[in-house]
Structure 1
Amino acid sequence: MAPTPVGTPDGGWGWVVAAATFTVNGLSYGLLRSLGLALPDLAEHFDRTSQDTAWVSALALAVQQAASPVGSALSTRWGARPVVMVGGILTSLGFVFSAFAGSLLHLYLGLGVLAGSGWALVFAPALGTVSRYFSRRRVFAVGLALMGNGASSLLLAPALQLLLDTFGWRGALLLLGAITLHLTPCGALLRPLELPGDPPAPPRGPLAALGLDLFAHRAFLVFALGTVLIAGGYFVPYVHLAPHALDRGLGGYRAALVVAVAAVADASARLVCGWLADQGWVPLPRLLAVFGALTGLGLLAVGLVPVVGSEEGWGGSLLAVAGAYGLSAGCFTPLVFGVLPGLVGIGGVVQATGLVMMLMSLGGLLGPPLSGFLRDETGDFTASFLVCGSLVLSGSFIYMGLPGAVPSCSRASPPATPPPERGELLPIPQVALLSSGAPHSTQEATC
């Protein structure tokens, strides 16, 4: 079906697209977050270290994110609908293939490469389509779609533990293959939409198709550097929060409860923060830097709980800090993608989403294995969370270099940005990317 040129609907079928992306997010990142519960079983079965088994999740995460620009480029050329449907089939095949693994290499190929490649084709096109359907409520819609991560973790963490106890890791992976096949009908719901800001023809050439020319602009380059550092620590709880709880003596279901508490807080914060950001009270880059820093502090707290807590009461303390970490991380996530239209324009948001996923893969590939290495060397995950929390804090400081991230030194309030016309850009301090590569902001400093 050919897309019909219209303005941004700011709702309508966009809510169906947001619901489909909610499920896509849950069956990708939500599933990855819960998959850490299976790592101890894999380590025991194959007689390997935590560092070795961590590469299963790390490879899946890295491939999913590193190949996301390919998913964006294919979506720009063929549309999001067929690309996401094919990605769902590949992801399901990856889990089925891994259920018959005879070695960790088999799992690296099945979950890491095959399932990871499928995930790369579903997330960026789906989330980019949500941004195209909304204007004034864009960050709220993105936050709603990204709630799938936390909601899925809430359901999948105890469900996966039950599957592991009942059917073993092979049966659990086989059933997850059937569940992830639901990504395909989600892709069918992504109705194509043309907007006035779209280029007249699909970009030609590999650099243009992948959107790599965006790195020529200073604002996006600052954003990219901060994102790489943050990704080095942000995904460690996805893989090692459950093993961290298991290491400290919590049973499988109590460890799953820790993951579930973080998931509930994460999911709730994404929706609330999305609504808050759309009000335009605080520039998005400033919110991004603040909640990035709070996420880093949350990771430090997760690592310090076993040190400062009592032997009897640390389990309850871990639940509390896991909830606090979930709140800050949940607020951070929609802001990362919500700030993109203000940096690159609505016409480039799908490509920019794919590039963000690729950037996250650079840190995400090293973070979980580094965490596993530190655990093997020190005997617990304390050093792992401290190091990774420091990386997130460092990236948040770099975000302060984005236009609008630091308050003006003038006491006078800057003029308010008028409401967007036809849904072209978010109602935030806009950063226009000029042909010369130098960005400028619509709000001038009065220093």
Structure 2
Amino acid sequence: MLGMAMEQMAMTPKPARPPDGGWGWVVAAAAFAVNGLSYGLLRSLGLVLPDLAEHFDRNAQDTAWVSALALAVQQAASEGGPEVGGSNGWRGRPVGSALSTRWGARPVVMVGGVLTSIGFVFSAFAGSLLHLYLGLGLLAGSGWALVFAPALGTLSRYFSRRRVLAVGLALTGNGASSLLLAPTLQLLLDTFGWRGALLLLGAITLHLTPCGALLRPLALLGDPPAPPRGPLAALGLGLFTRRAFLVFAVGTALVGGGYFVPYVHLAPHALDRGLGGYGAALVVAVAAVGDAGARLVCGWLADQGWVPLPRLLAVFGALTGLGLLAVGLVPTVGNSEGWGGPLLAAAVAYGLSAGSYAPLVFGVLPGLVGIGGVVQATGLVMMLMSLGGLLGPPLSGFLRDETGDFKASFLVCSSFILSGSFVYMGLPRALPSCRPPSRPASPPPERGELLPVPQVAILTPGGPQPTPDTTC
């Protein structure tokens, strides 16, 4: 009986394309929570840095390394994601390949949740900044690295026509979490101190584990049977020979140099401008509201195909840089009781533009490199952005120590983002559509051009027939 059941399962045909719904919405909800308990928590963590600087008698540059290391470890090590090679097919990732090829996305995310929780609990008993570098930077950062990319990659396999919308929905977890966690974290700091707050955050981040349990794997027809061989193929370094991807990578690396600075120093900047603790938390919260709403709206807009994705990416990247420029130039509020209207308005503008930019980064990759290389491309881009996450916040802290406030920091970070957005103008004007074309696919392009939507076979009574792939 068991053999017959296994044979029947083996003969069950795989779906030709993502279901664009069904359990995919449950995966979207799980990815929403994962994003909120990773990037959303990182954005609010800046509220703790002034307390750490005071307790350990260190400057802003030293304490900024706590969040910078967490960001860098998360970005650099989170390159793993479910590839198109089967339900558990993972490839080309230094961390994800080693763990997930054998165990799949579900247990890896669950372990990542436990590791993140342990990092916060360990940090609650820190006796020096070195302990915090190890606890929040290495342990929590490694845990976040194991949860974010697998959750987002699994979600991408469940959607095709509405993929950018689904990813945008998942990425709103960042803003929603910041909206709730920023005032909650300030309350915890006032009530329990930074040690008690970190201990409670350890309990909160443990909820990443049940989120991982919801990541049901999905096998699709057309999944490659075997992973690539050799270091160049595994890491996807050959993608840099394609002009379009190289332009995208350079632009994204420049954007990464400034994009993560507000995650660390928006709250301390609000404190420097004269706001109290809850006023600073409100600045983070309103930026989060704009961020969350924009991700959803921009994801829907991108799926309509009215404006080419590369042009949307360049426009919203530039608006993000201008938003941060406005945040850095707002006048001093003057007292801790004020609510800082100009700073709140600038924070909303920044949140709207940064939230619109986020889903587009993932949305353009399938058209640039094809579905077969999208996870490898994501890993390379995240590694490049990790350099910005590692260097940007400490540079911002250094400029704050030298100038006395964060004005110069936000001016520099906005210049990085504006430079990257200018580089995006070198991308092709349009990308292949995820909707089935009305005529046969064109021949493969020359190196450096956009890849056409690939073809997969659907098993029919009349035999295999090529059908346009909608998994781009």
TM-score when normalising by structure 2: 0.85
> Which of 16, 30, 33 matches 1:23?
33
> Which of 369, 394, 413 matches 1:344?
369
Partner of 2:245: 220
Partner of 1:379: 404
Partners of 1:77 and 1:354 lie apart in 2 by: 19
Asked whether the equivalents of residues 94 and 114 of structure 1 are also in contact (C-alpha less than 8 Å), the reply is yes
Q: How does 1:295-306 map to 2 (within 5 A)?
A: 295-306=320-331
Moved more, 117-126 or 190-199: 190-199
Asked whether the equivalents of residues 58 and 364 of structure 1 are also in contact (C-alpha less than 8 Å), the reply is yes
Determine if the alignment matches structure 1 residue 45 to structure 2 residue 60. no
Partners of 1:240 and 1:154 lie apart in 2 by: 16
Asked whether the equivalents of residues 258 and 318 of structure 1 are also in contact (C-alpha less than 8 Å), the reply is yes
Amino-acid identity (%): 83
Residues 417/219 of structure 1: CA separation in 2 closer, same or farther (3 Å cut)? closer
CA apart distance, 1:356: 2.4
Partners of 1:431 and 1:185 lie apart in 2 by: 44
> Which of 28, 32, 44 matches 1:34?
44
What residue identity is the alignment partner of 2:190?
D
> Which of 291, 297, 301 matches 1:266?
291
CA apart distance, 1:78: 4.1
Moved more, 361-370 or 28-37: 361-370
CA apart distance, 1:188: 1.2
Residues 397/219 of structure 1: CA separation in 2 closer, same or farther (3 Å cut)? same
Q: How does 1:130-145 map to 2 (within 5 A)?
A: 130-145=155-170
Residues 338/197 of structure 1: CA separation in 2 closer, same or farther (3 Å cut)? farther
Partners of 2:424 and 2:433 lie apart in 1 by: 25
Asked whether the equivalents of residues 330 and 343 of structure 2 are also in contact (C-alpha less than 8 Å), the reply is yes
Determine if the alignment matches structure 1 residue 287 to structure 2 residue 312. yes
Determine if the alignment matches structure 1 residue 242 to structure 2 residue 257. no
Partners of 1:270 and 1:419 lie apart in 2 by: 20
CA apart distance, 1:442: 6.4
CA apart distance, 1:72: 4.1
Listed as ranges, the gaps of 5+ residues in structure 1 are 406-415
Partners of 1:366 and 1:433 lie apart in 2 by: 39
* Superimposed CA distance per residue, residues 201-256 of structure 1 (whole angstroms, 9 cap, x where no aligned partner): 12334443333332232211111111110011111111001000111221100110
Residues 76/5 of structure 1: CA separation in 2 closer, same or farther (3 Å cut)? farther
Partner of 2:23: 13
Asked whether the equivalents of residues 262 and 323 of structure 1 are also in contact (C-alpha less than 8 Å), the reply is yes
Determine if the alignment matches structure 1 residue 318 to structure 2 residue 323. no
Moved more, 74-83 or 182-191: 74-83
CA apart distance, 1:128: 1.2
CA apart distance, 1:315: 1.1
Partners of 2:428 and 2:302 lie apart in 1 by: 16
Partner of 1:420: 435
CA apart distance, 1:200: 1.2
Partner of 1:409: none
Moved more, 314-323 or 143-152: 314-323
Question: How many residues are paired up?
Answer: 425
Q: Greater Rg, structure 1 or structure 2? A: 2
Residues 101/310 of structure 1: CA separation in 2 closer, same or farther (3 Å cut)? closer
Partner of 2:258: 233
CA apart distance, 1:310: 8.8
Residues 96/402 of structure 1: CA separation in 2 closer, same or farther (3 Å cut)? same
* Superimposed CA distance per residue, residues 329-382 of structure 1 (whole angstroms, 9 cap, x where no aligned partner): 000000001111112222333333332221110111111111111111111111
CA apart distance, 1:432: 9.6
Asked whether the equivalents of residues 142 and 334 of structure 1 are also in contact (C-alpha less than 8 Å), the reply is yes
Residues 370/442 of structure 1: CA separation in 2 closer, same or farther (3 Å cut)? same
> Which of 379, 382, 390 matches 1:357?
382
Partner of 2:182: 157
> Which of 36, 48, 68 matches 2:78?
68
Partners of 1:314 and 1:178 lie apart in 2 by: 31
* SS of equivalent to 1:250: coil
Determine if the alignment matches structure 1 residue 81 to structure 2 residue 106. yes
Partners of 2:100 and 2:109 lie apart in 1 by: 8
